[in-house]
Structure 1
Amino acid sequence: MIPGLREDGPQGLARARALRQTPLPEPAQAAAVVYASRGRTAVLGAGAESIEAARRLASAGLRCMLIGPHAEGVSVPEAVLVVARPVESVQGWLGDFQIRVAGGVDPAPLWGDPVPRFDLVLDLQPEPCIGAEVPPPGYFATRGRAEALEAALAELPGLVGAFEKPRYFRYDPALCAHGYGDAVGCTRCIEACPAEAIRPQGEKIEVEPHLCQGLGACNAVCPTGALRYGFPELGEVMTYVRRLLRGFRQQGGERPVVLFHDAEEGGEALRAMAGRLDEAVLPVAVEEAGSLGLEAWLATLAYGASAVAVLLPPGAGGRLREALAGQTEVARALLAGLGHEPQRVALVEADEALPQTLTALGDWSELPAAEFAVMGSKRDALRLVLDHLARHGRPAGRFVALPEQAPFGTVVVDAARCTLCMSCTSACPVSALQAGGEVPRLSFVEWNCVQCGLCVATCPEDALGLQPRLDLDTEARTRPRVLLEEAPFHCVVCGKPFATQAVIRNMRERLAGHPMYREPDALRRLEMCGDCRVKDLFASEA
């Protein structure tokens, strides 16, 4: 509970009682990610600043190696090793950095250790080697800022020993829609990760736990739930929110605004302005505010909040902001299409205007509170939430148009180009596209579709496109509907169906001018099944 929240009015008293009676859940024990550092420090850069930084770190007890295009014979403290070559690359994390200098040379063996590595990196170069918005633990890039250099020099000596943090994410590759063969589909998590901890790995993705800083943007943007935040689990957070809102109502509170914030930086900012916050604002601390997405925000409204606000962490970088802004756009489009005020979901900043911004969000009446629990898969949670919001809204029509980053939508087929080859059905990771078996038919289950784009990427005829939307007909969106169907082509000899009309038509058109198909008999063989084609070839050679 944020200290200093007002309790002088009926709303403030209702909030205080609800917060006291609803304890925050204790997150389940998460697996630990371990770092081990022996203090072997690389100082990257040239000139007096880097020499002085190496001297200060060596005097603080760190083993230092000065790496950069220094002049030969540069004067450095005796305890500092010097590698007078430009740096080519740096990768890794606290206790396990790998550095390469000009010529691809690894300078770490100069330490003389059995396992040569760098534990810490102080990068004083004008252009840092690692450009991630959230750099790896143990890596400090100052970018010419004196205050950043002093902060790094103060922190580095304390990064010797063993350290651990939670393994923030959980990944289910069976749900991942990243790739199929050489085709690339969903890349939302890769693009959203500020730490650049996620990379493609064949048809799936790989998350490096030592690079992951737990900001949670991957969870917010993942359309399938393949990546989810595990510290705490979404179900734990939403059970707390549901009970908190129920308690607030039971104490006489009205039009609550739930404010999600991270416990550290966000919590500190709220403590500084606690007395100015409207009494209907219910702060909810989570590990990272960025770890919550559509299902959490909309479930909060379904549980009876007048509005939900997400406090951006102070200094949040572009990737996190863009990811959450994109999800906010989707949430607002859904709310507008369902007949609710789109501004009920908002991203907010910890600035002087925050108290007034939050007060304005309480202008709308809360919805009838749902009692379902947000458990199970992400899609199941969204289904429950959206159905509740639709029942208590005034939808303008059956279909809600959505922005491109939405996890719902349909597939559009160009009937003039599609040959019903069914490549798309093999690539679809969620069984949204389905083949008709013996019948040339392409069917589609709209609710399954996550708009990953793998069908578009694998279609050899460029016949498919995506259309983000939400179908409010709950029965229609969950049953297969036919996108394209045509009569099969029958073998001109035996009559057996073996292909589609479009496939044969396209083959005839494309091969009509080919030297091997100038003879009518050769073109006619395209219209035969495999068995009859072989028989005809042998007969023609007899």
Structure 2
Amino acid sequence: MKTLICDCNKTLPLDSTALQQALSQVRGASAEGLETVHTGLCRREAAAFQRAARGAAAGEELLVGCTQEQRLFVELNEQTEGARPVAEQPIRFVNLRETAGWSREGRQASPKIAALIAAAQLPPAEPVATVAYRSAGRCLVIGPAAAAAEAAERLADKLEISILLDGPGSALPQRREQAVHSGRLTRLTGWLGAFDIAWESTNAIDLDLCTRCNACLQACPEGAIGLDYQIDLAACKSHRDCVRVCDAAGAIDFDRAPQLSEERFDLVLDLRDTPAFDQPQPPQGYFHAPAGAGHERRLFQALLALRELVGEFDKPKFFNYRAKLCAHSRNQQIGCTACIDVCSTRAIRSDAGLKGKAPGRVAGGHSGGVIVEPHLCVGCGACSTVCPSGAMGFAYPGPVDQGRRLQTLLSAYAAAGGRDAALLLHSEGAGTRLVEALGRAARLDPTIEGLPARVIPLPLWHTASVGLDLWLMAIAQGASQILVLLTEEEAPEYRRALAEQMAQGQALLAGLGYGEGHFRLIEAREAEALDAALRCTPAQGVRRPTAMAAQADKRTTLEMALDHLREQRPAALPEAIALPAAGAPFGNVRVDADRCTLCLSCVGACPAGALVDNPERPQLRFFEKNCVQCGLCESTCPEQAITLEPRLWLADEGRARKAARVLHEQPPYGCIKCGKPFGTLKAVENIVAKLSGHAAFQGAALERLKMCNDCRVADMYSNPNEMKITDL
């Protein structure tokens, strides 16, 4: 790949020699084109770009180290004879100005610039499946009459508008140009192209039959009828003068029963004070613009967006879900609910009530798992971040592609001589704008320092899409810190989830002897706040970074990272590291031997294969490495004999947690007739003790509880006079 860099009229300190040397040591990276540092690539030296664009026609990809003039370069490419169209071979761009050069430490930023170029040269992530929306432009406007009618008028040239008057007040236009309904909204569900809406109408005036002649308004002595043609029943004194003057048969009927109406719309504009959806991110195609401060701005933005939402649209299917790994439920017992709790769009719901029916069936037990509605998912990735088992995975990009970006950034940074790398993860939207604003401020304001040379920004589709597995792998690969920038885009659920994940990561690193300060959430809205937050001391990293790459399986990546961090530990290894209970991905299961009957219900409930039986003897065994602390064993146990202990067990250099150990065992109970074992001593004794006082289990019936199946049947038929209904 050929890379063109420009010092932007000599405002960036670019060291081409250092960049070439660093990139030549990074696997897959190219140093071609870096021998020249341009000064005005978008102006005086535009011919150099055109020559490179013509060269790209032979299949050579082109990377430009500038995002400021991205649009100009694309247009220049289209005007260059012999250059391949961008539609066939896109030109890549990377921001070296605001993210590296425009900083007080810009002259020390060559390692970071090398890292940014190397990551930008990576091949694109694997394509993912798409989710389709189809909108014919049928839009429902909900709200007071005047506001709804005005909004409808501004949309009518593009959309097919209907109005739902939700409560009396204000006035409808006299001319009937849209379908108008009245009533109380009772249901609003769905998404762009598929909103199912129901409302109950109790208005005595049928708006379809009403001709808006206003005779009823003049006749009503109480003024109970407004220009929205709704009757205020609290003011109405039942004179019924309105009925007598109405010329449209049936238009006014006070005896009309409440009518429930249902329709499907493609789009919804909600002008009421209280939105129909209370989650932070409502479905696509729904817009809320209540009256009050900021109403005009919100309404204008909604109207602009609505006008463009006609046709067919696709978005990525952001997630992968593997039901067999899901720790949500077994046999209608609820365990992990992390993904349901964190989803800000309500796209995930429980499937525990389906008793093993598709799509959540798993071998060896019944699991409803969860159901994810892809049309509601906006791709935050938080579900994959909090999922302890890896059942939910983010796919845009997936963990392998995302891990490759992190590894490339860190390896290129180190190859160029960089130290104490801090990865700044931020969103592609508001996060990128804030990072760039900091760079511009540092260029103009001497009190602003800008991004430190060791802070490498990494834009993500969403900040919640990368979690503990990739964070720890990045630390193992040489990062000193993981900083996550939060702006107004992140919902409260995401902040809480990220904080819990960081608490887990910091507990693990501190327990291994690396100290504190490896993870930080940075909340900033202005460049000044971000600038101050980035002045942090580096945390202790590994002596030797690992060359291992992130894997597709979350648990595998976690184990690989922890193994390397344990091997590189700067202090003695403790027996175990206690972990916070919230979001713990590892832990122990404690069994109360006095309560446990070895019924093995917990074994059937465990989705991770952490709890297993022994076919040879009554025994409960445990693989601590597999435990995801979902709590299904705890909620399933009929004797309440199980408790969870979040921890990372490090005995025998961490090997002990990977081997099976016995949690509880009992001697088998032998049949009192033939001696064949058929249960455990504790289980049979408990059953006998609980039923000994029951009238149906006296004498021989009680003794039969101590027999195996064969002997029990034989005894019943050898003593038919003693048989009871409970024996049959």
Q: Which residue, 151, 155, 158 being the options, matches 1:57?
A: 155
In the TM superposition, residue 264 of structure 1 has moved relative to its aligned partner by 2.3
Residue 356 (structure 1) shift = 3.0
For residues 75 and 287 of structure 1, the distance between their equivalents in structure 2, rounded to whole angstroms, comes to: 44
Please tell me whether residue 477 in structure 1 is matched to residue 651 in structure 2: no
Q: Deviations over 1:245-297 (max 9, x none)?
A: 12112212111111112222211111110241111111112222210010111
| Aligned position for 1:332 | 506
Judged with a 3 Å threshold, the aligned counterparts in structure 2 of structure 1 residues 323 and 247 are, in CA distance, closer, same or farther, namely same
8 Å contact from structure 2 (residues 338, 387) kept in 1? yes
Q: Which amino acid aligns with 1:179?
A: S
Matched with 1:311 is 485
Task: State the shift of 1:367 in Å.
Answer: 4.1
Q: Which amino acid aligns with 1:384?
A: M
Q: Deviations over 1:97-137 (max 9, x none)?
A: 100112783442xxxxxxxx301111222322222211111
Counterpart code for 2:143: G
Identify which range, 157-166 or 220-229, moves more after superposition.
157-166
8-17 or 478-487: which moved more?
8-17
SS in 2 for 1:220: helix
Match of 1:35 among 133, 139, 143: 133
1:300 to 467, 471, 474: 474
> Which shows bigger deviation, 313-322 or 302-311?
313-322
Say which structure, 1 or 2, has more relative contact order (CA 8 Å, 6+ apart).
1
Q: What secondary structure is seen at the aligned counterpart in 2 of 1:494?
A: coil
Q: Does 1:45 align with 2:225?
A: no
Q: Deviations over 1:44-68 (max 9, x none)?
A: 223432332233322x432211113
State the match for 1:111 in structure 2: none
Q: Is the 8 A contact 2:111 2:413 kept in 1?
A: yes
Q: Does 2:170 match 1:5? A: no
Match of 1:191 in 2: 341
Decide whether the 8 Å contact of 1:306 with 1:361 is kept in 2.
no
**C-alpha spacing 1:290/1:345, structure 2 compared with 1 (3 Å):** same
Aligned equivalent of 1:112: none
2:164 to 59, 67, 72: 67
Give the root-mean-square deviation of aligned CA atoms.
2.0
**1:378 and 2:554 matched:** yes
Separation (CA, whole Å) in 2 of partners of 1:453 and 1:104: 47
- Matched residue, 1:344: 518
Alpha carbons of structure 1 residues 73 and 243: separation in structure 2 relative to 1, 3 Å: closer
Aligned to 2:20: none
Question: CA 1:403–1:365 in 2, change beyond 3 Å: closer, same or farther?
Answer: closer
Q: How does 1:101-112 map to 2 (within 5 A)?
A: 101-102=199-200, 105-108=260-263
Cα 1:41/1:416, change in 2 over 3 Å = same
The answer on 1:239 being equivalent to 2:434 is no
Kindly state the Cα deviation for residue 363 of structure 1 after the two structures are TM-superposed.
Answer: 5.3
SS at match of 2:711: helix
Identify the residue that residue 395 of structure 2 maps to in structure 1.
Answer: 230
Other-structure match for 2:18: none
Give how far 1:70 is off: 4.5
Report how far residue 499 of structure 1 moved: 0.8
Please report how far the alpha carbon of residue 207 of structure 1 lies from its aligned counterpart in structure 2 after TM superposition: 0.9
Shift of 1:368: 2.1
1:521 deviates by: 2.2
Distance (Å, rounded) in 1 between the aligned partners of 2:606 and 2:326: 11
1:511 to 662, 669, 691: 691
Asked whether the equivalents of residues 171 and 226 of structure 1 are also in contact (C-alpha less than 8 Å), the reply is: yes
Larger Rg: 2
* Deviation for aligned residue 1:395: 5.1
Aligned match of 2:414: 249
CA distance in 2, matches of 1:210, 1:104: 31
1:283 is paired with a residue whose SS is: strand
Percent identity of paired positions between Structure 1 and Structure 2: 39
- Equivalent of residue 118 in structure 1, options 240, 265, 289: 265
CA contact (8 A) 1:308 1:345 kept: yes
Residue 71 of structure 1 deviates from its aligned partner by 4.8
- CA deviation after TM superposition for structure 1 residue 221, in Å: 0.5
The CA distance in 2 between the partners of 1:446 and 1:292, in whole Å, is 25
Q: Secondary structure at 1:516's aligned position in 2?
A: coil
Q: Which residue in the other structure is 2:350 paired with?
A: 200
The match for 1:79 is 177
Cα distance in 1 for partners of 2:700, 2:348 equals 55
Name the structure 2 match of 1:278: 452
What residue in structure 1 maps to residue 579 of structure 2?
Answer: 402
Separation in 1, partners of 2:520, 2:493: 17
Q: What is the one-letter code of the residue matched to 1:533?
A: R
Counterpart contact for 1:333–1:402, Cα < 8 Å: yes
Taking the aligned partners of 1:338 and 1:25, their CA distance within structure 2 comes to 35
Letter in 2 for 1:129: A
Length, aligned pairs only: 532
Secondary structure of 2:344's counterpart equals: coil
Q: Does 1:465 align with 2:643?
A: yes
- Who is 1:139 aligned against? 286
Contact 1:266 1:350 in 2 (8 A): no
Q: Would the aligned equivalents of 2:398 and 2:552 in 1 still touch at CA under 8 Å?
A: no
> Which of these residues, 423, 426, 432, is aligned with residue 267 of structure 1?
432
What is residue 521 of structure 1 aligned with on the other side? 700
One-letter amino acid of the structure 2 residue matched with residue 413 of structure 1: V
Q: 2:112 aligns with which of 5, 12, 15?
A: 15
What is aligned with 1:440?
618
Find the aligned partners of 1:479 and 1:541 in 2 and give their Cα distance.
52
Structure 1: gaps of 5 or more residues: 109-116
Residue of structure 2 equivalent to 1:451: 629
Q: In 1, Cα distance between the equivalents of 2:678 and 2:262?
A: 64
How many Å separate the matches in 1 of 2:421 and 2:663?
45
Contact 1:88 1:104 in 2 (8 A): no
* C-alpha separation in 2, matches of 1:541 and 1:14: 90
Check the 8 A contact 2:485/2:522 in 1, yes or no. Answer: yes
Determine the C-alpha separation between the residues in 2 that align with 1:436 and 1:61.
Answer: 69
| Distance in 1, Cα, partners of 2:333 & 2:155 | 48
1:369-424 deviation line (CA, Å, top 9, x unaligned): 11111113111110110111122222561211111211111111111111100111
Residues 135-186 of structure 1 show CA distances to partners (whole Å, capped at 9, x for unaligned) of 1110012344413233212321121122111111111112111111111111
Which string of whole-angstrom CA distances, capped at 9 and with x for unpartnered residues, describes residues 221-250 of structure 1?
011111111111111122222122121122
Using the TM superposition, name which of 388-397 and 304-313 deviates more.
388-397
TM-score by length of 2: 0.70
Q: Secondary structure at the match of 1:83?
A: strand
Paired residues of 1:11 and 1:252 also in contact (CA < 8 A): no
Could you tell me which residue of structure 2 aligns to residue 167 of structure 1?
A: 317
Q: Distance in 2 between matches of 1:104 and 1:360?
A: 63
Partners of 1:302 and 1:367 within 8 A in 2: no
Aligned equivalents of 2:122, 2:535: Cα separation in 1: 24
Cα distance, 1:17 vs structure 2: 2.5
Change in Cα spacing, 1:143 to 1:407, as seen in structure 2 (3 Å) is farther
Deviations 1:335-379 (A, max 9, x none): 111112332111112342322322314354564211111113111
Post-superposition Cα deviations, 1:175-217, rounded to whole Å, max 9, x if no partner, equal 1111111111111111111111011123111111110000110
Deviation at residue 441 of structure 1 after TM alignment: 0.5
Pick closer, same or farther for the CA change 1:455–1:498 going to 2, 3 Å: same
Write the letter of the residue equivalent to 1:317: A
TM-score, normalised to structure 1, is: 0.94
Q: Which amino acid aligns with 1:158?
A: E
Contact 2:144/2:169 (CA < 8 Å) preserved in 1? no
Find the counterpart in structure 1 of residue 601 from structure 2: 423
Q: Are 1:67 and 1:83, in contact at CA under 8 Å, matched by a contact in 2?
A: yes
Task: Pick which of 161-170 and 311-320 moved more.
Answer: 311-320
1 CA distance for matches of 2:568 and 2:608?
30
What are the Cα deviations for residues 484-542 of structure 1, in whole angstroms up to 9, with x where unaligned?
Answer: 0010010111101001111111112211211112x332221111111111222222225
